[in-house]
Amino acid sequence: MGLPKFTLGVEEEYMVVHPETRELTSHEQKIVEIASRTMDDKVKAEMHQAVVEVGTSICNNVHEVRDEIRKLRKNVSDIAGELGLRIGCSGTHPFSLWTKQLITPNPRYDEIVNEMQEAARSNLIFGLHVHVGMPNKPTAMHIANTMRYFLPHLYALSTNSPFWEGRNTGFKSFRSKVFDKFPRTGIPDYFGSYEDYMRYVNLLVKTNCIDNAKKIWWDLRVHPFFDTIEFRICDIPMTCEETVCLTALFQALAAKIFKLRQQNMGFIIYQRALINENKWRASRYGIDGKLIDFGKEEEVRVRVLIEELLDFVDDVLDELDCRREAEYALKILEMGTGADRQLKVFEESGGDFIQVVDYILEQSICDCD
């Protein structure tokens, strides 16, 4: 019996940058307005006016994802250019202040800001969301439970937000520290079944904690409306190829866990508290740190764990036709993540944030032609 299709959908959040000051700036929704004429609804507004979100259509494989992300980055960049603006891909802007940024007028955003106040207004961050299609909700819940363990590994590969408001934070990904102020974020709990998960959702709705399950902002969630698992932990990668690589790895891990289940084999389920230890390490040190191998009860270098992860999914890569894309992770280990490369520019320029932003802007569309 072969694998299900495990279709893919990818969302990316871009910075809108003023070309002279290099600060974040409002595009007054003009990018969205112009894009809607030729790109359907693939380009959307976000809560902050300095953010543009794009989303692919449903893709059958990572090759289609690559084609769409390249076009989306290039088209949005071209539209921004026509408006005298630039777009860039970094989990946080290196020096812009959130207090200077405008909120998009919208009843949904007004409601979020009214409830969460400064936690919402300061949430000026940029992420990558990867949807992997599932055969059904129970299968999605099983895979989601197991996938929690691997979230810090892929998060480490995506780290791309070392700076915040003009400071070197010491983290490879400070974006998650900003987002932690929101409720219902981080690594999700284990749920024994999809019905258990829905009982949790319904209780929150009944008690006016949320009005729908989209206000559960975990690093991974069984999507409330689509038959997908949505992976939300990653910083927006700086380049298209890094996005494609992470997408391939999420797809491959989901397929591998499904395959093990077909063979009546499982993976050890670890507590959220333990996985959180690894997430913190990934946020702080990226690919240059160590994560805990809970089975061996010892620390292991992230670089070794990424190689082990590729070995783990090796037998599904060819069937998914994503071997080259998944193995690009080795290239990331070699060249460094977006955070590593930002920090290198920062150090070599003597702490010049303008040069860091210029590097981000250039890299964001360097492989989109």
102: domain CATH number is 3.30.590.20
Q: What is the pLDDT of residues 77-104, one digit of tens each?
A: 999 999 999 999 999 999 999 888 877 7
Classify residue 187: in a domain, yes or no: yes
Assigned domain for 266 exists:
yes
**Tokens, residue 220:** 């991974």
Q: Quote the strand ranges of 85-168, DSSP E.
A: 86-88, 128-133, 163-164, 167-168
Within a domain: 1: no
pLDDT at 2 over 80: no
- Does some domain include residue 106? yes
Buried b (16+ CB within 10 A) or exposed e, 323-340: bebbebbeebbeebbbbb
Tell me what pLDDT residue 1 has: 56
User: Is 267's pLDDT higher than 90?
Assistant: no
Any domain includes 369: no
> Phi and psi dihedrals of 134, rounded to 5?
-120, 150
- The mean pLDDT value for 10-25 works out to 95
What are residue 186's phi and psi, to 5 degrees?
Answer: 90, -165
Q: Which pLDDT belongs to residue 285? A: 98
Q: How many domains does the chain have?
A: 1
Is 265 inside any structural domain?
yes
Mean pLDDT throughout 122-143? 93
3-state SS assignment for residue 350 = coil
Give the relative orientation of helices 240-262 and 302-320 as an angle to the nearest 10 degrees. Answer: 70
Rounded mean pLDDT, 287-315: 96
pLDDT at position 23: 94
Mean pLDDT of the chain: 93
Asked if 61 and 318 count as a contact pair (C-beta separation under 8 A), the reply is no
The residues facing 228 across adjacent strands are 133
Closest to 119 in 3D by CA, of 174, 181, 176, 180: 181
Q: Is residue 2 part of a domain?
A: no
Q: Whole-model pTM?
A: 0.95
Is the pLDDT assigned to residue 123 strictly greater than 80?
Answer: no
Determine whether 268 is exposed, middle or buried from the number of CB atoms within 10 Å of its CB (0-12, 13-18, 19+). exposed
Least confident residue range of 7-21, 98-112, 335-349:
98-112
CB proximity list for 40: less than 8 A, separation 6 or greater: none
- For the stretch 312-369, pLDDT in tens is 999 999 999 999 999 999 999 999 999 999 999 999 999 999 999 999 999 999 877 7
Report the percent of the chain where pLDDT is more than 70: 100
Give domain status of residue 358, yes or no.
yes
- Expressed as residue numbers, the domain containing 189 is 8-364
